[in-house]
């Protein structure tokens, strides 16, 4: 009984490791980090192979299947948490403020965030869209800045992978 529990726990830990790596690797692929993705993928698959070998050899133990499933779920949570912690890459924020777009633009520029102000026409008349491309690590700072001026501002966030040209603050 103890051996079965330890086997299930070992499978769960291996799945947590390989799924965490797999989730993080996928996010690295999206960011275009091919070498990081390759190295992470090597370890991800190596751990998965060891886990699968153990499961196939001990398929009759139901606890192993539960360990596999729990490890998968927890690994996804940890992988996304890891991605949020490192916050690699860039995002594009589109900000629409009915009344405070000039103040938001000025504050962003004073805080060294490059912005583009685009005139827009909506159902309720003319407006402006503030566009800024920033490092993901800076997203909370910008969101807090916008919310401090206009808590009702409409903001969209999109993944952005700069192709060429200058990004304020540089890129690697």
Question: Helix (H, G, I), strand (E, B), or coil: what is residue 139?
Answer: helix
What is the pLDDT, as a whole number, of residue 171?
A: 41
Residue 112 tokens read as 């060294």
Concatenate the DSSP letters of all residues of 59-101 into one string. TT-HHHHHHHHHHHHHHHHHHHHHHHHH--SEEEEEEE-TTTH
**Could you read off the pLDDT tens digit of each residue along the chain, which spans 172 residues?**
888 899 889 999 999 999 999 988 988 888 788 999 999 999 999 999 999 898 888 878 888 889 999 999 999 999 889 888 888 788 999 999 988 999 999 999 999 999 999 998 888 888 899 999 999 899 999 999 999 999 999 999 998 877 777 665 544 3
CATH of segment(s) 90-160: 3.30.70.120
Strand pairing class (116-122; 90-96):
unpaired
| Residue 131, burial from CB neighbour count under 10 angstroms (0-12, 13-18, 19+) | middle
What is the pLDDT, as a whole number, of residue 166?
A: 62
What is the pLDDT, as a whole number, of residue 167?
A: 61
Residue 115 tokens read as 């912005």
Check residue 169 and give left, alpha or beta (phi > 0: left; psi -120 to 50: alpha): left
Question: Helix (H, G, I), strand (E, B), or coil: what is residue 122?
Answer: strand
Question: Helix (H, G, I), strand (E, B), or coil: what is residue 128?
Answer: strand
Residue 57 tokens read as 């050899």
What is the pLDDT, as a whole number, of residue 168?
A: 56
Question: How far is residue 92's CA from residue 50's CA, in Å, rounded to a whole number?
Answer: 40
What is the pLDDT, as a whole number, of residue 172?
A: 38
- Answering whether pTM is above 0.85, one says no
- CA distances (Å), origin 22, targets 26, 49, 64, 71: 6, 13, 20, 12
């Amino acid at each position: 009984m103890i051996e079965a529990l330890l086997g299930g726990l070992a499978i769960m830990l291996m799945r947590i490791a390989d799924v965490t790596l797999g989730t993080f690797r996928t996010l690295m692929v999206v960011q275009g980090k091919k070498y990081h993705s390759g190295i992470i993928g090597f370890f991800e698959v190596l751990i998965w192979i060891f886990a699968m070998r153990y499961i196939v050899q001990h398929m009759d133990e139901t606890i192993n299947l539960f360990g596999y499933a729990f490890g998968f779920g927890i690994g996804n949570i940890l992988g996304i948490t890891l991605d949020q912690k490192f916050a690699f890459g860039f995002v594009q924020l589109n900000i629409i403020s009915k009344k405070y777009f000039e103040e938001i633009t000025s504050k962003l520029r004073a805080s060294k965030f490059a912005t583009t102000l685009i005139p827009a026409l909506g159902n309720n008349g003319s407006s402006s869209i503030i566009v800024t491309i920033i490092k993901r690590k800076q997203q909370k700072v910008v969101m807090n800045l916008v919310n401090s001026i206009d808590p009702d501002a409409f903001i969209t966030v999109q993944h952005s992978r700069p192709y060429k040209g200058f990004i304020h603050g540089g890129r690697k």
